[in-house]
């Protein structure tokens, strides 16, 4: 009888331990930010095998006018942005999906209709003196260094405040800078690799 009780206790402990390990897992998440019709996002917890991603809305195909999505291979961290289309005010589900079918969702609250403007690839509302972080993908894999500048206005990037690094062999660059004392408007921000290749985006200063 004592042997049977001991066996049952052991089985219970094995089951409890097994259940504890199975319950530990991470799930993809995304976070939305931005002002007006321009929205940027960052994600975490995606599969490290993802190489591409895309943005969609299960709520309405019209809520996303244009979009861009990139993912750091091996990191499971997608990022990008999209322009909000001409939709009625309300709440819309935004979904970022990796190429292995993993996905995360967030709620976008639209307060007004889309205002017609230039089709920027990526932008967000900032004020002079604000810190900005940026990413670029598709650079040459032979790049080993990079720099940040603004072809539209040298003062958009406050001198001495920019930093840029690139993962050699991946073509993925990232860094940040502080916005200089410029008037409200849209400014081109450029990341340039040491091989002469570059990527541009548009920064909205309010």
Residues of the chain with pLDDT under 70: 1-26, 35-36, 112-125
Q: Are strands 29-33 and 38-44 parallel, antiparallel or unpaired?
A: antiparallel
pLDDT of 142 reads 87
Question: Which domain-ending residue is among 84, 110, 136?
Answer: 110
Longest dimension (CA), the chain: 85
**Is 20 within the bounds of a domain?**
no
Half-sphere exposure of 168 (CA within 13 A, CB side): 4
pLDDT of 1 reads 52
Specify the number of domains making up the chain: 2
- Integer angstrom CA distances of residue 50 from 21, 69, 73, 76, 85: 25, 12, 6, 7, 27
pLDDT digits (tens, 9 = 90+) for 82-110: 888 877 878 888 899 999 989 988 888 78
Range of the domain at 176: 125-205
Q: What are phi and psi of 199, to 5 degrees?
A: -135, 145
**Is 185 within the bounds of a domain?**
yes
Residues 129 and 188 in one domain: yes
**Is 172 within the bounds of a domain?**
yes
Residues 98 and 163 in one domain: no
Residues 91 and 145 in one domain: no
What pTM value is reported for the model? 0.46
CATH code for the domain in which residue 135 is found = 2.60.40
């Amino acid at each position: 009888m004592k042997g049977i009780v001991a066996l049952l206790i052991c089985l219970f402990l094995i089951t409890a331990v097994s259940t504890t390990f199975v319950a530990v897992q991470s799930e993809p998440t995304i976070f939305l930010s931005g002002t007006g019709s321009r929205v940027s996002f960052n994600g975490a917890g995606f599969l490290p095998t993802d190489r591409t991603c895309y943005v969609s809305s299960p709520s309405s195909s019209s809520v996303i006018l244009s979009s861009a999505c990139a993912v750091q291979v091996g990191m499971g961290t997608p990022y990008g942005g999209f322009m909000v289309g001409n939709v009625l005010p309300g709440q819309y589900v935004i979904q970022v999906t990796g190429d292995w079918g993993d996905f995360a969702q967030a709620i976008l609250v639209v307060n007004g209709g889309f205002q017609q403007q230039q089709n920027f690839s990526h932008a967000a509302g900032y004020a002079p003196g604000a810190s900005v972080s940026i990413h670029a993908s598709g650079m040459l894999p032979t790049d080993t260094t990079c720099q940040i500048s603004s072809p539209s206005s040298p003062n958009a990037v406050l001198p001495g405040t920019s930093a840029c690094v690139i993962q050699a062999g991946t073509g993925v660059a990232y860094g940040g800078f502080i916005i200089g004392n410029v008037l409200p408007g849209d400014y081109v921000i450029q990341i340039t690799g040491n091989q002469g290749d570059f990527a541009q985006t548009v920064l909205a200063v309010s």
